[in-house]
Amino acid sequence: MDIRPIFSTLRRHKTAAALIVLEIALTCAIVSNAVFLIADRSERMSAPTGVAENELLHIRLTPSQNVENDDAITVQDLATLRNLPGVKSAASMNQFPFGDHSSATGINMQRDQPAPTLEASFYLLGESGLATLGVRLVEGRDFTPEEFRLQSQVENDDKLEMPSVMLDRVTAKRLFPDKPAIGQQIYLFEKPSRIIGIVDRLAPPRPQNAASDYVVIVPVRPSYSEGAYLLRVDSAQREAVLKAAVAALEKLDSRRVVTRQETFEDIRDKYYQQDRWMTALLVAVCLALLIVTAFGIVGLASFWVQQRTRMIGVRRALGASRGQILGYFQTENFLLTSIGIVIGMVGAYGINQVLMTYYELPRLPWVCLPIGAAVLWALGQIAVLGPARRAAALPPVVVMRGA
Amino acid sequence: MFSYYLDLALRSFRRSPALTALMVLAIALGIGASMTTLTVYHVLSADPIPGKSDRLFYVQLDAQASGSAPLGTEPPVQVSRFDAEAMLRDKRGLRQAMMTGGNVAVQPAQQPQQGDMKPFFASARYTSADFFPMFDTPFRYGRAWNAEDDAASARVAVISEALNQRLFGGADSTGKMLNVGGHDLRIVGVLDRWRPIPHFYDLIGGRYADTEQLFVPFTTALQQQLRIVGSLSCWGNGNTVDRRAVNAPCAWIQYWVELASASEAAPYKQYLMNHSDQQRAAGRYQRPTNVRLRNVTEWLEFRKVVPSDVRLQMWLAFGFLAVCLTNTIGLLLAKCLRRASEIGVRRALGATKQAIFAQFLVEAGAIGAVGGVLGLGLALLGLWGVRQNPASYAQLAQIDAPMLFITLLSALLASLLAGLLPAWRACQVTPALQLKSQ
């Protein structure tokens, strides 16, 4: 099809054409970035944590007054929990992914370093902590029963060392890029610890918000007043086991209040609620933008059809088929949309630059370009179809007579 | 003249109702979205303590061990107890307070008749006495405690209006006893409704957290070992028997100072630097002097209190408004060019260019006015939607009178802006050409 007549017509409607191009460009720039933000959030929300998410329960108890023997009570609690039907494993720990508590520490390679080598999430896991979380050990061995300490001991005794620690794969690779990390020595709180095991993956307590993604695990058991209980149960009877566990704990010692009782999935849902909300909002805005733009195209195209009634009649009388008239308007829209897309893509990269500085987002991946272009082309073609068909349906005689 | 133009506009709307509805809807959607997000931003970035935000200062000192953080970085967010107590003793500001957050089991000491009330957890603030006059907290009943109470670790407490409602049905509860974490404290004051937004004096427990329910003297809280909740950051080997002890190498206290005027900041900062130098000379500090003194505004800015999502939403909404406006300009232009012959007749009958220009602006303005009212409705709906959002700040999203006014005004302005180009094009129509082509 010859596009020269289209150009010469458009030249006579510069302002209107420019406006439609501008609208498409703005929509294109905003929608590409919004789609990118949506994809980025969805990816973050579905990032694996390394734990058995659909089998975990969380219970946190808070003493209502000062209690002395909380370590002894913790032992009792854990024994009771492990004996409950449906409970596969239970452990006390200071933090877990998506929990409210988060603790971090510096890892050093030497005793006296001017600054820590890296900051890592500091996991204190009590006995059978790894098994409870469902974290997979990929190298080395699990902690032995003799290696476990109490959090109160570790905090109060300046001399007490933590001889064995575990890292996750990412942290091990970062600290020892070119040799196996197993058996190597690191320093925590200026005291040496040996790496005895590497786990596949354990997310920090605040994934996506943590200062770092690095993790170090030590065999230390917090008491119930310092940490939380996690239970690994049969996923089908989570609710029932949770109720039974809370009842059993309350029966053991009533001088404390159950401040948290929830399934891990609920915790995860709550943690990402804000992100889900934002994603829904972005989707809504994208749809609204596309609809408004489509209506803009419909409005302007209808006007053009009306204005060019005489031209259409002349062309039809001179032998142009309905298909050619239809094609004319479709091609015109395609041209305008393409110009809009080109300008919009440049704008999209501009916006992306700003987002990169303010929101620590990665660069807009190039796949967004063809997707954005395809969406807008399709939108333009669909929007213009109605007015174009009306134009093609105009009988030449009526048109010529009316002129 | 105006009413005549309005009449013309109405006729034109009646001739193309779909196009008119489209324009009104576009303006309404754009305005609704931008005003929703702008209102949220306006609420969240508000000055929590107007009139004082430039002379209330937050203090940061670097007491860390030499190897605990890279040099030249920010000092810890909070200060150690040793430093806080030293500064409190020095009293270099008009008022000053050291504080931390807590969460503690509460129940009335004298059990009410209706049976035993189970203890429940209340959010608490453990602070020295100046907190109340410094932050201008309103009192419904009673008063704050004073410095002597601090020194004596007096067993007193101030409670919030909400806690007073829950425990005593809103009656004057001053003088009554309250069991807090197993210890009896005497209520000396009940606050009136008070919720600074953001929760500026402690951002760790939630940037838009509700005001604490219970206030206890810092010294009393330590003596009674009430449960402290907040961030605790220790350095060195971090192993001390009591991390809350005076000499513990841990930062966990927020320190605020009120100065007589903003210009006192420089001398006060000098005092902080001298304090740091002295501490280093005494062997307590190991790192170079590194102090920060930020007023409320600077502090909120530095901690990036307004959630980045809220900013992002605002820009998204303004982008949306831009698209809606472009759309409206295009449609208005199409509409007015279609009426070239009508304009030609009006011009031939003696209407001036200005009159045509005014006529089309009135038409655009009418669309804007209707779109604005509709947009306001959408904004109210949008804010209702925001309040359903799980974030802690969501419930604060309420429109106020100035925002209401801004909404309507901006819709009108936006539509007039959109009407400028079409109106200008309309008044350029040459009457002779139009009449000839009829």
Higher pLDDT, B432 or B150: B150
| pLDDT above 80 for B437 | no
Provide the pLDDT for residue B412. Answer: 86
Mean local confidence (pLDDT), A7-28? 86
| pLDDT above 90 for A52 | yes
CA distance B259 to chain A (A): 33
| pLDDT above 70 for B114 | no
CB proximity list for B117: less than 8 A, separation 6 or greater: B107, B108, B111
Query: Tens digits of per-residue pLDDT, B165-176?
Result: 999 999 999 999
**Cα–Cα distance between A396 and A393 in angstroms, integer?**
9
Query: Tens digits of per-residue pLDDT, B37-46?
Result: 888 898 888 8
User: Which of these ranges, A66-75, A83-92, B212-221, has the smallest mean pLDDT?
Assistant: A66-75
- The minimal CB distance from B29 to the residues A62, A259, A292 is found for A292
Provide the pLDDT for residue B200. Answer: 94
| pLDDT above 90 for A360 | no
Q: Is A62 within 8 Å of B338 when comparing Cβ atoms?
A: no
Confidence grade of residue A268 (pLDDT, cut at 50, 70, 90)? very high
Q: Is A23 within 8 Å of B330 when comparing Cβ atoms?
A: yes
- Considering only CB atoms, which chain A residues are within 8 Å of B311? 358
Nearest residue in chain B measured CA to CA from A24 = B323
Confidence grade of residue A210 (pLDDT, cut at 50, 70, 90)? low
Mean local confidence (pLDDT), B363-367? 89
Report pTM.
Answer: 0.83
Q: Is B22 within 8 Å of A259 when comparing Cβ atoms?
A: no
- The minimal CB distance from B323 to the residues A26, A274, A278 is found for A26
| pLDDT above 60 for B255 | yes
Average pLDDT, chain A: 88
Alpha helices for B60-108 (secondary structure H):
81-90
Q: Tabulate helix, strand, coil % of chain A (nearest 5).
A: 55, 20, 30
Residue with the two structure tokens 């903003």: B262
Residue with the two structure tokens 């030590």: A218
Mean local confidence (pLDDT), A245-274? 89
Provide the pLDDT for residue B238. Answer: 53
Q: Is B331 within 8 Å of A300 when comparing Cβ atoms?
A: yes
Q: Tabulate helix, strand, coil % of chain B (nearest 5).
A: 50, 15, 35
Alpha carbon of B147 to those of B156, B201, B214: distances in Å? 12, 20, 18
Q: Is A295 within 8 Å of B389 when comparing Cβ atoms?
A: no
Provide the pLDDT for residue A403. Answer: 47
Mean local confidence (pLDDT), A158-165? 83
- The minimal CB distance from B425 to the residues A15, A160, A190 is found for A15
**Cα–Cα distance between A394 and B5 in angstroms, integer?**
34
CA distance B321 to chain A (A): 9
Q: What is the DSSP letter of A108?
A: B
Angle A74-A78-A81 (CA atoms, 0-180°, nearest 5)?
140
Mean local confidence (pLDDT), B41-60? 92
Q: Is B119 within 8 Å of A257 when comparing Cβ atoms?
A: yes
Among residues B135, B122, B139, B92, the alpha carbon closest in space to that of B221 is found at B122
Provide the pLDDT for residue B111. Answer: 57
Half-sphere exposure of A179 (CA within 13 A, CB side): 5
**Cα–Cα distance between B255 and A345 in angstroms, integer?**
49
| pLDDT above 90 for B242 | no
Q: Which of residues 245-264 of A touch B (CB under 8 A)?
A: 257, 259
CB proximity list for A108: less than 8 A, separation 6 or greater: A116, A117, A186, A187, A188, A190, B67
Confidence grade of residue B395 (pLDDT, cut at 50, 70, 90)? confident
Mean local confidence (pLDDT), B325-353? 86
- Considering only CB atoms, which chain A residues are within 8 Å of B22? 295, 299
Provide the pLDDT for residue A199. Answer: 95
Q: Is A115 within 8 Å of B70 when comparing Cβ atoms?
A: yes
Among residues A333, A278, A341, A380, the alpha carbon closest in space to that of A31 is found at A341
Provide the pLDDT for residue B201. Answer: 94
User: If you count them, how many residues does chain B have?
Assistant: 438
| pLDDT above 80 for A263 | yes
Average pLDDT, chain B: 88
Provide the pLDDT for residue B110. Answer: 64
Higher pLDDT, A370 or A247: A247
Q: Does A297 touch chain B (CB under 8 A)?
A: no
Q: Is B330 within 8 Å of A281 when comparing Cβ atoms?
A: no
Q: Is A156 within 8 Å of B331 when comparing Cβ atoms?
A: no
Q: Which of residues 84-123 of B touch A (CB under 8 A)?
A: 103, 105, 119-121
The alpha carbon of residue B250 and the mean position of all alpha carbons in its chain are separated, in whole angstroms, by 30
> What is the sign, positive or negative, of the torsion defined by CA atoms of A157, A158, A162, A163?
negative
Mean local confidence (pLDDT), B415-432? 85
Tell me the percentage of chain B whose pLDDT exceeds 70: 96
Instruction: List chain A domain ranges.
Output: 4-46+273-402, 66-254
Interface test with A, best of B15, B64, B239, B336 (most A CBs within 10 A): B239
| pLDDT above 70 for B240 | no
| pLDDT above 60 for B115 | no
Angle B289-B301-B161 (CA atoms, 0-180°, nearest 5)?
105
Q: Is B67 within 8 Å of A113 when comparing Cβ atoms?
A: yes
Nearest residue in chain A measured CA to CA from B119 = A64
| pLDDT above 60 for B206 | yes
Provide the pLDDT for residue A60. Answer: 93
**Cα–Cα distance between A238 and A249 in angstroms, integer?**
16
Provide the pLDDT for residue A126. Answer: 94
Query: Tens digits of per-residue pLDDT, A145-159?
Result: 999 999 888 877 777
Residue with the two structure tokens 């009782």: A261
User: Which of these ranges, A323-332, B87-96, B290-299, has the smallest mean pLDDT?
Assistant: A323-332
Residue A398 CB neighbours (<10 A): 11
**Cα–Cα distance between A32 and A161 in angstroms, integer?**
53
Q: What is the DSSP letter of B209?
A: P
Confidence grade of residue A401 (pLDDT, cut at 50, 70, 90)? low
CB proximity list for B387: less than 8 A, separation 6 or greater: B394, B395, B397
| pLDDT above 60 for A402 | no
| pLDDT above 60 for B10 | yes
Q: Does B324 touch chain A (CB under 8 A)?
A: yes
Provide the pLDDT for residue B100. Answer: 95
- The minimal CB distance from B333 to the residues A15, A158, A281 is found for A15
